[in-house]
Structure 1
Amino acid sequence: MTVPPVPADDDAPLDPRAGLDIVAAQERRVRDSEVDERVLFGVWGAAWVVGYLVQWWSASGSPTGTTSGPAGGVFGLLMATAMVVTVVHLVRRSRGVRGTSRTVGAMYGWSWFLGFAAQSAIVAGVVNAGAPPRVVAVVANGVACLVVGLLYMAGGTLWRVGPFYALGVWLVVTGAAASVVGMPAGYLVMAGAGGGGMLLGAAVVAVRRRSHP
């Protein structure tokens, strides 16, 4: 008498619970590879609020209406910290992603460094050309806002994140408004509308994620 073969494990029906676990694991991997707007909005919002308030406080007490060296150093340190957090976050999120997505994430991260390196070079050129301190302040702030705003808009386009793109538009508009207002009042515009807008964006995204886990 022939004994019927025992079905292999691959032929056994899939346990519904195991199937749900697989789906849940895949969803977690997808979430882990997505850019967390809360991180980027939050770190840049905090950096802009604190940094621009320090700039405004320093410029308000200056006869030239410009910031002092220490205030500029604090602002630069905050911006550098925000850039590092941004790049590290993007690299980590794209670490497990292969192909085009990983390449795009790395290129986008490096764009932040290159953009601000170019901004620093432009400001140095304006200073070397003999521009007055107030003009240097307007150019430095305006170009920085343009870099950040356009990169946010590019990120929103790449990852199809509407709030990301909208915030980029808001930052470009805010930077333009601050340039028209002039310094030191423009620093308050940047702290309130620019930094405050980013923190508001972080809060909106956090609420949205809690309501749609």
Structure 2
Amino acid sequence: MNDDTIADSRRMLELMEATRRKTVRQLTRRYALLFVVWAVAWAVGFFALWITSGVGALDILPPAAGWVIFIMALAVAVVWSTVVGIRAANDGISGRSQLQGALYGNAWTVSMIAAWLLILGLQRNGLPDDLAQLLYPAIYVFLVGVLYLAGGALWRAVPMFVLGVILIVVAVVATFIGTPTHYLVYATVGPAAMLVVAALMLWGPRRVRESA
């Protein structure tokens, strides 16, 4: 192998590494922003449920309005997540990684629909409304935590794994606290954890940013 061939190989490797780092930076910024969007959606949605659940002076809207705001906030976050997923698929992610991402995304859809149907089935079989108010967010947040655990293990993303642990703990603690204060717990602790993870992805140590 002559010197020109070696130089060409080095330039090719440098180009490939530069392309990989650029892709990682783009995806990191995109997913960090996604965490911010979901943090805002949780904060707005769960706070709306809290202030419409009979908490004294803050009880200025009917309960139905709280659920409308909650659903709208989550719908915006879901649409944003879908757009991010589509863009990621068009940014050079293919093969095994693309399949992992697709299966992981479908796992979220299946889990959330199944959780909703599970609670609906329990309500039809006599689950009291006050318990339903505890179970709906608890199961939802618990599943989100489990899915983050799985995602963190799948992609060796420590911040995502830690976030999953935090959300599972939040779901358990909020359920023990009870209604309506549990909505306030979800509106504060969960979003705060998401914002911390987003900050680590953007400004944390390089190894943390690339693993996130």
1:154 Cα deviation from its structure 2 partner: 0.9
The equivalent residue for 2:83 is 88
CA 1:148 to 1:98, structure 2 compared with 1: closer, same or farther past 3 Å? same
Between the aligned residues of both structures, percent identity stands at 30
Name the larger-Rg structure: 1
Q: Does 1:76 align with 2:71?
A: yes
- Which residue of structure 2 lines up, in the alignment, with residue 41 of structure 1? 35
1:141 aligns with 2:137: yes
1:99 pairs with one of 95, 99, 108: 95
2:21 to 20, 27, 32: 27
SS at match of 1:81: helix
SS at match of 2:53: helix
Structure 1 residue aligned with 2:165, among 145, 164, 169?
Answer: 169
Deviation at 1:86, TM superposition (A): 2.7
| 1:74-94 Cα shifts (integer Å, max 9, x gaps) | 212222332333343234324
Question: CA-to-partner distance for each residue in 1:19-54, whole Å, 9 max, x for gaps?
Answer: 744542243245456695413321221111111110
SS, match of residue 60 in structure 1: coil
21-30 or 137-146: which moved more?
21-30
Q: Provide the TM-score with structure 1 as the length reference.
A: 0.80
Q: What is the distance in 1 between the residues matched to 2:193 and 2:21?
A: 30
The Cα shift of 1:174 comes to 0.1
Structure 1 counterpart of 2:51, from 48, 57, 60: 57
Cα distance in structure 1, aligned partners of 2:181 and 2:172: 13
Q: Distance in 2 between matches of 1:152 and 1:169?
A: 8
Quick check: 2:28–2:201 contact (8 Å CA) kept in 1? no
- In structure 2, do the counterparts of structure 1 residues 15 and 128 end up closer, same or farther at CA, with 3 Å as the change threshold? closer
- Over aligned residues, Cα RMSD in angstroms? 3.0
Letter in 2 for 1:42: V
Cα 1:183/1:192, change in 2 over 3 Å = same
Q: Where does the alignment leave 5 or more consecutive residues of structure 2 unmatched?
A: none
142 and 18 in structure 1: CA distance in 2 versus 1, 3 angstrom threshold? closer
**Corresponding residue SS for 1:59:** coil
Higher-helix-fraction structure: 2
Q: For 2:165, give the aligned amino acid.
A: V
Task: Choose the corresponding residue for 1:189, options 178, 185, 191.
Answer: 185
Preserved contact between residue 83 and residue 113 of structure 1 (Cα < 8 Å)? no
Distance 1:43 1:99 in 2: 28
TM-score by length of 2: 0.80
